[in-house]
Amino acid sequence: MVEMYSPPEMPMVRNAVLVLDWCRENGYTPWYMKEAVVMDQPEMIEHRGRCHLLLLPDAEPYPQGLAAIPQGSPLADG
């Protein structure tokens, strides 16, 4: 899991381009966790100040258990 930020020196869209390039070069797929969809265009997250991506090997599907957890849900105790 990668937590992405948009500091002034590197806008989110530039950050996203770098992640997409790394994924293509290394056989990974970046998943935009808020929507549980593949991030295939950097513009998908350019409006975000921060977000979370899940980087999985290309053949690995998105974990359905994660898709069922609403954004902002509290962590379970113990």
* Domain boundaries of the chain, sorted by first residue: 2-67
Measure CA 41 to chain center.
11
pLDDT tens sequence for the chain (78 residues): 999 998 888 899 999 999 999 999 999 999 999 999 999 999 999 999 999 999 999 999 999 888 888 777 887 765
C-alpha angle 68-74-78 in degrees, rounded to nearest 5: 100
pLDDT attached to residue 1: 92
Model pTM?
Answer: 0.86
So what's the pLDDT on residue 16?
Answer: 95
Determine the 3-state secondary structure of 28 from DSSP: strand
Nearest 10 degrees: CA dihedral of 64, 65, 66, 71?
Answer: 120
pLDDT at residue 78, as a whole number: 57
